[in-house]
Structure 1
Amino acid sequence: MVIVTEDVKKRNVSRLFTPAKIGGLTINNRTVMAPLGLVSYSDDQGGFNKNAQDMYIRRAKGGVGMITVGLIGCDYVDFADGSVPCAIKNPLVFMNTSKEMLDKIHSYGTKAICMISAGSGRSSFPGASKQKWAPSENENRFDPKQIHRAMTHDEITHMIEDFVKSAVICQQSGFDGIEIHAVHEGYLFDQFAMSLFNRRTDEYGGSLENRLRIVTDIVKGIKAQCGEDFPVSIRFSLKSFIKELRVGGMPGEKFEEKGRDISEGLEAAKILEAAGYDMLNVDAGTYDAWFWNHPPMYFNKKGIYNTFGAQVKEAVNIPVGVAGRMDDPEVINDALDQGIDLIEFGRPLLADPDLPNKIKADAWEDIRPCISCQDGCLARLEHGLPFSCTVNPATGREAEYRLTVPLEKKNILIIGGGPAGLETAWISGKRGHNVTLMEETSELGGELVPGSAPDFKSNDRELIEWFKRQLSNMGNVEIKLNSAATKKDFNDNAFDTIVVATGSKPIIPDFGSNQMITAADVLLKKTEIGNHVTIIGGGLVGCETALMLKKQGKDVSIVEMRDDICGGVGKMSFANYQMLKQLIPYNNIDLKLNTKVDSVDGTNVIVETSDGNKQTINSDTVVCALGYKPNNIFSDLLSTSGKETYLLGDSRHVDNIMQAIWDAYAVAKDI
């Protein structure tokens, strides 16, 4: 008799690989690639460039049941010219590039629908808005001095017509359906749906039915032109989580919703179903609470939209899909148990294009984890760059970064087992080189080891374990722990190529005390921590260490000489930045900005404020988190060696995990 353990039951997601229907469309399994902003994935005529095509085709090969391509724009929208593909700009080019992509997607048995967007309205990043319009006059979400004007009646009707025209072109291009980027995330149509931003007195304002009229008119128009059986989905945020303008409600926080609350959201869902929508793609949040739509690691849980999707499913009779870090068997089963029809993957499919096939094969440990940093995806979009992935640099450049077999197999020595060293070893090993990796400590991971200590950084720990598993399965890769490389190893004639990835070391200024400890000492539990802790430095490491200590019941202060944490806006994904910035006061962490450390007397910190006053912060423990500097201990050998040598990751230039991995991939793919 075979005994099925509880763990095996939890991992069994066979239901995920049964067919599902959306209107007249049948898909082979219930996995969906969620829509993503195609910034800089357009050619100059509004078609899909080769990178966009290759990226989607690769995900179809990975076994996903349906891909939501886009977002794309219409001619008459609020995106900057040429920033995303556009069906109307040159329909022939759009159809040709679509067909080239869709023929290959369909050959894998994968369906594809296309998401059309009206743009951002008052949620646009300054400088990214072409029209500067909104439902009514409103301040820009990011710059209150920038005012968005109310759209005219003619502009609204023109936009509705453009959406219908775009849908017809998408159908003629071979797409299997359409998704409307609408009552979602605080984009333009979502602003129309919320009374907070819509103060119109015509038929597009007032009642909920009127505020939804644009999107109900669009689906009626599409159905009239494309036929009742042509599926039309809608992106739908059930709850806005707007505590105040530009301030999001925190998970578990009780607050008065200023945007759309759940009760109104459920009413809206019924109106959308009655209008003719065939599916609701459900999440929560707005640009004012952007971390809800793009959940950072600080949520410390996956499947955050399951509850919202289940509530919508009880209110409607059409299929419901949810995303929200669904790459976990328990989360998937929880969603399916609650009647949710489709499981959507966005970032996890960027991290691992073979995610569906690996889930189907029960190879969960081989799935390369998304670490929710959003540096490779969302942060790049914010800067007008095409999204990619921190842990998978080939995302969005599949052809350019395709791995090839080298003409000559080499013996490669990698010094350092942090992210740059691990990525170099993995890519070099995959290509067939013989690799020896030397790590001076007893553990692989480098700065990822202390960095993954907080409970909300568990995905970083998963990444280390993923690297370990992949490398352990390679017969041509040898890992040597507790092995500090020396000049002798560097010059060993057995090695053709030397890669130095020795990482970084903390910056510790002389503040006059020998009792300071580093953030790594705290994270690795190398020393006992008192009840009153002062952290010098309000960067990412300092803030995340503060959060971890606060959860342990410590009284924590952060001293930061600048006027903001983490270098301010633009230094990291805004969703991560916004949530972290709100978590500091929400958790009663004392943040002292514009405050400079004068000296440290034992464990008491003497600081100088912006007005020149000095004060003493009494504490039991002082933690220095002032950043890192390269630990390039082989600089003289690198400059004089006659061998093929490379300096990668933090040992070359201190940055983030993405830069270390991208550094390594760019070099290792060509060795």
Structure 2
Amino acid sequence: MKQTYEALFTPWKIGKVEIKNRIVLCPMGGTSLFGWMEPNHFDKEAANFFLERARNNVGLIIPGIAPIRDTIGGRWLYQNKKMFRELKPYMEEIHQTGAKLFVQITAGMGRSWGISDQVLPLHKNPVLRTLAKPILDTNYQLASPSPLPSRWAPEITCPQMTVPQIEEIIEAFAKTAVLCKEAGVDGVEVHAVHEGYLLDQFAMKYTNHRTDAYGGNFENRYRFAVEIVKAIKAACGADYPVSVRYSAVSKVKDFCYGALPGETDYTEIGRDMQESEKAARYLQEAGYDMLNADNGTYDSWYWAHPPMYMPQNCNLEDVAHIKSCVDIPVVCAGRMEPDVAAQAIAEGRIDAMGVARQFLADGEWVTKLLEDRMEDIRPCICCHNGCFNLSHHKGHANTQTLPDTRGMARCALDPRTMQTKKYRITPADRKKNIAVIGGGIGGMESALVCAQRGHTVTLYEKTGSLGGVFVAAAAPSFKEKDRELLAWYARELTKYPNLTVKLNTEVTDLDALQADEIIVASGAKAVNLPVPGAEKGIQAVDYLLGRAPVGEKVVIVGGGLTGCEIAYDLYLQGKQPTIVEMKDDLIAVTGVCLANASYLRDFFKTNQVPVCLETSLKEIRDGSVVVADKNGATREIPADSVILSVGYRPAPMAPKSRCVHIVGDAHKVGNLRTVIWRAWDVCMKL
């Protein structure tokens, strides 16, 4: 291990519990040991996920939130004694690795509850709501400190939580904590004065308008969180550790509108730093033994779930400041890099490094760091496509599918994550010669899976480099993790003697390959717009690869994710982008996490980047474009350059047959998750 990282591997204590190193596996929705969108139970998939990471040298594990009361059916956690009996021998296995584990319990989500399009009718229709109540009590799930607009469906008003409901939850925390302690769990974490969840909504003035003992002044707003820790300590003893998930600063300007990194000239309507200093001390005095901290709420979600646009270590300065205000340990999460975290720990600015999604992309990354194999770590690229793709755009609530809601905390880059029954490497029954045509992500992933199964694989790429269209996607300055992923693939492909890569080799005759199976990963072609002057436009890929320089005023046609990222990239370069989009919102698609999409929307709004919604391109002229709004009214927009980002169509070089299999964008244009998971779906059967 390099000396740079030594501080990460020193012991520390939470109360009287010693943790062997300073790396904390932070909680992620969908990784609860007690299940998530189903009746609570001991979840063996999550248990195996954490045990494998414990064996790979993580110090402290905090599984994802366990709702104190079931989402489906409404049973309290403490009522399932069998679940805790199964937990006890599991904790013994965890402890044999040297790791410690805290169970995170949530009081609820309030207005942040992810109402999906599928269940929206339940929330709107009182008859359906009543009929569904024994199974899914929507009023309870949405209960908030005060009547508030839902983050996901503002037309829905979340009901005010009653005092008896609050008291039930406090009692349930204490009863559940006792069962955790008896099962050998090292501590519990209270979720959360953090991220705009229920306890955080109680704590903040803009979401708490109560006039009783749980609203109004500072002490009343934090009373709910304080009474929970006091109840746990009374039931479990003063020495039983209790952490709280905590947001240092809310970073909120208005409902559904956050403050960007570096933005200081705004009025904070949530918890500002001055109140946070007081709150952190108050929570410590109440009995909390640790602050597991970052920033943000669901109204500024990109702070708590940083996409690739956010700076690395984005929460460190604020969390380090809070550390100076308290005597208990403070963990910092949010795109943390090991070298920066190690230095901050060595300087006493924080106590531990919180990491979440990197454990989804590569469960062995801590071991690889210890063994000086950093280049072997598959990087998390902050895409949220597999782990947390709750998406939202105008006219819709959460467009995430129900299977994704049930199965969060998976990984776009490794489909085995939290899906070991479905995806696994097994030796092939009969070793075959397999040809893979196309060296993009789909082709490279297919080649690796087939090689790992024992097949003899030849990967053909017609250009002189691997990566395909992802090379263009990784080009902007903020895509450093994408570029690391491409480098990771290039190295992985050299590790298998049964895998040969042939660059600058275009395949035109499939029969000449003499292969038992052929995988076609030939990608997609850009859609051409049938408008006058279309030939004057620059395709998005050509811009991203630097093939076509652009002027100062640039119109981007297409406000999907790629178009918005191009506009963002142009703005960072000091140019003047304008986005033209036919739909009524930017990034109006399923599968792009709101944390990612809202950053770009907020960035354009804050920086006054012109966005023309419900607007279509009619003509590209020299120096301008002509567009039409939804009513047909046309206008001219000055443009030195026009970038076309209006989508792609699959372009398989051969049709599917018994021995020809189509993967990647050649099968269906999608994202990294669809490309990689499709490769596994095909290659596991060969």
Please report the TM-score for the alignment, with normalisation by the length of structure 2: 0.91
Is 1:401 aligned to residue 401 of structure 2? no
* Cα offset, 1:45, TM superposition: 4.5
Cα contact 1:74–1:89 (8 A) shared by 2? no
Select the residue among 591, 604, 607 that pairs with 2:624: 604
Q: Report deviation, 1:361.
A: 1.3
1:458 corresponds in structure 2 to 480
Q: Secondary structure at the match of 2:389?
A: helix
Measured against aligned partners, the alpha-carbon deviations of 1:90-115 in whole angstroms (never above 9, x if no partner) come to 222x2134235333322322111100
What CA distance in whole angstroms lies between the structure 2 residues aligned with 1:528 and 1:341?
47
Give the Cα separation in 2 of the matches to 1:406 and 1:327.
38
Q: Could you tell me whether the CA contact under 8 Å between 1:380 and 1:386 is conserved in 2?
A: no
Q: Does structure 1 conserve the Cα–Cα contact (< 8 Å) formed by 2:358 and 2:379?
A: yes
1:99 aligns with 2:88: yes
Residues 31 and 46 of structure 2 are in contact (CA less than 8 Å); yes or no, is this contact kept in structure 1? no
Aligned mates of 2:66, 2:490 — CA distance in 1: 39
Query: Using a 3 Å threshold, how does the CA distance of structure 1 residues 614 and 339 change in structure 2: closer, same or farther?
Result: closer
Q: CA deviation at 1:572?
A: 1.0
1:566 aligned partner: 587
* Equivalent AA in structure 1 for residue 491 of structure 2: R
Distance 2:36 2:598 in 1: 29
Q: Which residue in the other structure is 1:627 paired with?
A: 647
Percent of aligned positions that are identical = 39
Instruction: Return the alpha-carbon distance in structure 1 between the equivalents of residues 56 and 543 of structure 2.
Output: 41
Q: 1:508 aligns with which of 514, 528, 534?
A: 528
Q: In 2 relative to 1, CA 97–447 (structure 1 residues): closer, same or farther, beyond 3 Å?
A: farther
SS of 1:623's partner is strand
Equivalent of 1:376, from 383, 386, 390?
386
Q: Alignment partner of 1:267: what SS? A: helix
* CA displacement 1:365-387 (0-9 Å, x = unmatched): 11100011111111169631312
Which residue does the alignment assign to 2:564? 543
> Could you tell me which residue of structure 1 aligns to residue 147 of structure 2?
137
C-alpha distance in 1 between matches for 2:308 and 2:355: 16
Q: Which whole-Å CA distance do the structure 2 matches of 1:274 and 1:493 have between them?
A: 72
TM-superposed deviation, 1:417: 0.9
Deviation at 1:389, TM superposition (A): 0.7
- Measured after TM superposition, the shift of residue 12 of structure 1 is 1.8
Distance 1:48 1:130 in 2: 27
Stretch moving more, 597-606 or 162-171:
597-606
Deviating more after overlay: 377-386 vs 447-456: 377-386
Give the Cα separation in 2 of the matches to 1:57 and 1:39: 12
Is the 8 Å Cα contact of residues 296 and 304 (structure 2) preserved in structure 1? yes
Which of 57, 60, 67 is 1:66 aligned to? 60
Question: 299, 308, 313: which is aligned to 1:297?
Answer: 308
Following superposition, the deviation at residue 392 of structure 1 comes to 1.3
1:22 and 1:341 mapped to 2: Cα distance? 10
Return closer, same or farther for 1:307/1:336 CA change in 2, 3 Å cut-off: farther
1:106-125 to 2 correspondences below 5 Å: 106-125=95-114
SS at match of 2:188: strand
Matches within 5 A, 1:164-313: 164-253=174-263, 254-299=265-310, 301-313=311-323
Q: Pick the aligned partner of 2:661 from 646, 649, 653.
A: 646
Distance 1:332 1:634, change over 3 A: farther
Letter in 1 for 2:530: D
Partner of 1:526: 547
Quickly say closer, same or farther: Cα 1:470–1:248, change in 2 above 3 A. Answer: same
Q: Which moved more, 1:405-414 or 1:237-246?
A: 405-414
SS in 2 for 1:472: coil
Q: Verify the 8 A CA contact 1:45 1:89 in the aligned structure 2.
A: no
The corresponding residue for 1:3 is none
* Secondary structure of 1:134 counterpart: coil
Deviation at 1:223, TM superposition (A): 1.3
Distance 1:218 1:457, change over 3 A: same
Question: Which residue among 34, 43, 46 is the counterpart of 1:52?
Answer: 46
Taking the aligned partners of 1:202 and 1:14, their CA distance within structure 2 comes to 50
Aligned equivalent of 1:37, options 20, 29, 32: 29
For 1:448 and 1:345, the matched residues in 2 are separated by 26
- Residue pair 1:35, 1:69 contacting (<8 A) in 2 also: yes
Could you tell me how far 1:39 is from its partner in structure 2? 7.3
Aligned to 2:72: 81
Please give the secondary structure, in 1, of the residue aligned with 2:261: coil
2:36–2:406 contact (8 Å) kept in structure 1: no
Distance between the aligned counterparts of 1:337 and 1:497, measured in 2? Answer: 56
Q: Is contact 1:54–1:398 with CA below 8 Å preserved after alignment?
A: no
CA deviation digits over 1:257-312, x for unaligned, max 9? 0010011011111011111111110111011111111011111x211121122111
Instruction: Map 1:441-452 onto structure 2 (within 5 A).
Output: 441-452=463-474
2:442 to 408, 411, 420: 420
Deviation at 1:336, TM superposition (A): 4.1
Deviations 1:217-260 (A, max 9, x none): 11111112112221110000011111011110111112110010
C-alpha distance in 2 between matches for 1:263 and 1:493:
68
d(CA) in 1 for partners of 2:592, 2:519: 28
1:280–1:319 CA contact under 8 A, matched in 2: yes
Q: Report if aligned partners of 1:196, 1:259 keep a CA contact under 8 Å in 2.
A: yes
Distance 1:379 1:619, change over 3 A: same
Matched residue SS, 2:189: strand
Q: TM-score, normalised by structure 1?
A: 0.93
State the alpha-carbon separation in 2 of the partners of residues 152 and 650 from structure 1.
51
Query: Is the 1:369–1:462 Cα contact (8 Å) retained in structure 2?
Result: yes
Q: Aligned match of 1:580 in 600, 605, 608?
A: 600
Q: 1:335 Cα shift?
A: 4.7
1:509 is displaced (CA, Å) by 1.9
Could you tell me which amino acid in structure 2 is paired with residue 275 of structure 1?
Answer: A
Mean Cα deviation higher: 38-47 or 18-27: 38-47
Cα distance change on mapping 1:55 and 1:239 into 2, 3 Å: same
The farther-off stretch of 372-381 and 516-525 is 372-381
SS across alignment from 2:536: coil
Question: Is the CA contact (8 Å cut-off) linking 1:43 and 1:49 kept in structure 2?
Answer: no
Cα deviation, residue 331, structure 1: 4.2
Question: CA 1:45 to 1:287, structure 2 compared with 1: closer, same or farther past 3 Å?
Answer: closer
**C-alpha displacement at 1:86, in angstroms?**
5.8
Post-superposition CA distance 1:52-83 (Å, at most 9, x none): 222222221222111102210123xxx63269
Amino acid at match of 1:544: E
Partner of 2:673: 658
Partner Cα separation in structure 2 for residue 89 and residue 491 of structure 1: 64
287, 310, 318: which one aligns with 2:328: 318
Matched residues in 1 for 2:161 and 2:511: separation? Answer: 69
User: For each residue in 1:598-622, what CA deviation from the matched residue of structure 2 results, as whole angstroms up to 9, or x when unmatched?
Assistant: 2223453221112221112232212
Partner Cα separation in structure 1 for residue 599 and residue 206 of structure 2: 22
Instruction: Please list every run of 5 or more consecutive structure 1 residues that lacks an aligned counterpart in the other structure.
Output: 1-7
Question: What is the CA–CA distance in structure 2 between the aligned matches of 1:167 and 1:325, rounded to whole Å?
Answer: 30
Partner residue of 1:593? Answer: 613
Once residues 491 and 69 of structure 1 are traced to their aligned partners in structure 2, the CA distance between those partners, rounded to angstroms, is: 51
* 650-659 or 306-315, larger mean C-alpha shift: 306-315
Match of residue 164, structure 2, among 151, 154, 169: 154
Structure 1 190/364 Cα, relative in aligned 2: closer, same or farther at 3 Å?
A: same
For structure 1, which segment, 427-436 or 460-469, has the greater mean C-alpha deviation from structure 2 after superposition? 427-436
CA deviation after TM superposition for structure 1 residue 349, in Å:
0.5
Q: Provide the C-alpha distance between the structure 2 equivalents of 1:124 and 1:321, rounded to a whole number of angstroms.
A: 25
- What residue number does 1:5 align with? none
